[in-house]
Chain A
């Protein structure tokens, strides 16, 4: 389990803490979505999970290992995969397969196993067959998926993704969402930072951060039923959730937020 307890982070020269006493757990096989306005502390919290950043106060532990323990650093980092917002900052290989192989190769994974991991990871993100493609010839969305493959090849117990789909189109987002769901079902703990509540709909748990504090913890659909509350914390409700809430207020029988146009038109003209 990743266990963040009363974590506080103060950046040098900052007026207020980036994180102000945050507690959060992530278990294997669980997916947690995290939303919040820019500057709410989401990325800071993500970086605490694999010791890219250490808390100024409070503790962060990964499967019982304190992230401040320098001896445990490699163990912590190999258990917690990390995918950043900008894939260009994480791509190191000259061709796709080399990039994906970089992590596990460094861990000394034998050649046969390495080949399998690389191919599996590329396939999982929809880049099968692109093994020899040079990263700069990939589109930005494909680069993002390559970065995810690089983290997957490490076979981490937890995967922390900081807005991994910000640059992807609807198809790419759906692919990544499917990958994350499969990984979750296979027992990986997923912490998915996103701006899109619609993307968080599949998560087991939703956490909303505002000014370094957790202001909502519950189910994604629970928050969709609270448009005013969501708006206050810089969370956009999916437009379709707003539309269905309006229709419900006007007496149309739509018991739960409907996110697709077909269902709404059916409900209106049935």
Chain B
């Protein structure tokens, strides 16, 4: 049981003479309980990959299967939830609660409003304060969190998120990151991001794209070993992580990389003390 893609490729406007080769040769595997980070610069094909995985686009090359069936097949319905970059484009109901409850209601949940309220609370939006409001009155950060709640409420086995923390302040980011990483308990989670900082410490696996083609595919530890190659593809690891990798390169003994800045400071100080 997994969300799998093999040799995936996509050309926008195929056959029109204005075709744009957005993605090629991508393999992808996501199982329940895993978190996968899809990294890449703007225009590298990350969002196209998510749309293919969710069945919103049909591949120009290769294949996608969700638990053995095509993602647009009727039996795959409700198995893949996706959150787009622009949350405003997802709202349609009159209240935030109704909007979030729509997915689970449609999938036959017993009490969609309860599921929706739980999902809102999980992303840090008080259902009492926000549930009755129109989605159009939400601030940018609130709208993004409500959109993520809508996807969480689907309780789909695979959750795909496109830049879920863009435009959020620090509290909003913390809430959203916690809610998303918690989903791993019951789902496979793939997060598209151009700032891998936020999810790297929780990631099992990293897939990096550059100009539509994979440039790295492996574990976080393997990514750290190959960070120079990763950077030569125009991608960049968090600066705090880089500092430790640069120190390692100079021969400092750093067995574990710290992701948080305070932890990184401890790691660097310990490595410095050891050498002296």
Q: Is the CB of B265 within 8 A of A246?
A: yes
State how many angstroms separate the Cβ of A5 from the closest Cβ of chain B.
25
Residues of chain A lying within 8 A (CB to CB) of residue B247: 265, 268-269
Q: Is the CB of A269 within 8 A of B43?
A: no
Cβ-based interface call for B219 (8 A): no
> A38's contact among B43, B139, B166, by CB below 8 Å, is which?
B139
Q: Which residue of A lies closest to B20 (CB)?
A: A137
Q: Is the CB of A243 within 8 A of B264?
A: yes
Cβ-based interface call for B73 (8 A): no
Q: How far is the CA of A38 from the CA of B242 in the complex (A)?
A: 30
Known contacts A243-B243, A243-B261, A265-B250; A137/B170 CB under 8 A: no
* Count of interface residues, chain A, beta-carbon cutoff 8 Å: 46
Name 26 A/B residue pairs within 8 A (Cβ), A-sorted: A37-B172, A38-B142, A85-B140, A85-B167, A137-B20, A139-B47, A142-B42, A163-B140, A166-B167, A167-B42, A167-B85, A167-B167, A169-B41, A169-B42, A170-B236, A195-B169, A239-B197, A239-B238, A240-B239, A246-B261, A259-B239, A264-B243, A265-B243, A265-B246, A265-B247, A269-B247
Q: Is the CB of B243 within 8 A of A38?
A: no
Cβ-based interface call for A97 (8 A): no
Cβ-based interface call for B1 (8 A): no
Taking Cβ atoms with an 8 Å cutoff, the residues of B that contact A are: 12-13, 18, 20, 40-43, 47, 85-86, 88-89, 139-142, 163, 166-173, 194-195, 197, 234, 236, 238-240, 242-243, 245-247, 250, 252, 260-262, 264-266, 268-269, 272, 275
Q: How far is the CA of A45 from the CA of B163 in the complex (A)?
A: 26
A25-43 contacts to B (CB < 8 Å): 36-39, 43
Q: Which residue of A lies closest to B162 (CB)?
A: A140
Q: Is the CB of B236 within 8 A of A234?
A: no
Taking Cβ atoms with an 8 Å cutoff, the residues of A that contact B are: 36-39, 43, 85-86, 88-89, 134, 137-142, 163, 166-172, 195, 231, 234-236, 238-240, 242-243, 246-247, 250, 252, 259-262, 264-265, 268-269
7 closest A-B pairs (Cβ-Cβ)?
A: A141-B42, A38-B141, A169-B194, A246-B265, A139-B43, A242-B261, A261-B243
State how many angstroms separate the Cβ of A116 from the closest Cβ of chain B.
26
Known contacts A142-B42, A242-B262; A37/B243 CB under 8 A: no
Q: Is the CB of A240 within 8 A of B240?
A: yes
Q: How far is the CA of A153 from the CA of B187 in the complex (A)?
A: 47
- Given A168-B194, A261-B243, 5 more A-B residue pairs with CB atoms under 8 Å apart are A37-B172, A195-B170, A242-B261, A242-B262, A247-B269
> A167's contact among B12, B163, B261, B266, by CB below 8 Å, is which?
B163
Q: Which residue of B lies closest to A163 (CB)?
A: B167
Q: Is the CB of A39 within 8 A of B272?
A: no
Q: Which residue of B lies closest to A196 (CB)?
A: B195
Q: How far is the CA of A268 from the CA of B168 in the complex (A)?
A: 33
State how many angstroms separate the Cβ of A267 from the closest Cβ of chain B.
10
Residues of chain B lying within 8 A (CB to CB) of residue A86: 86, 88
Q: How far is the CA of A259 from the CA of B242 in the complex (A)?
A: 11
Q: Is the CB of B140 within 8 A of A243?
A: no
Residues of chain A lying within 8 A (CB to CB) of residue B252: 269
Q: Which residue of A lies closest to B275 (CB)?
A: A269
Residues of chain A lying within 8 A (CB to CB) of residue B238: 239
Q: Which residue of B lies closest to A171 (CB)?
A: B41
Q: How far is the CA of A259 from the CA of B166 in the complex (A)?
A: 21
State how many angstroms separate the Cβ of B95 from the closest Cβ of chain A.
14
Q: How far is the CA of A238 from the CA of B42 in the complex (A)?
A: 21
Known contacts A239-B240, A268-B247, A269-B247; A166/B166 CB under 8 A: yes
Known contacts A43-B139, A169-B194, A242-B262; A88/B86 CB under 8 A: yes
Residues of chain A lying within 8 A (CB to CB) of residue B236: 170
Q: Is the CB of B169 within 8 A of A37?
A: yes
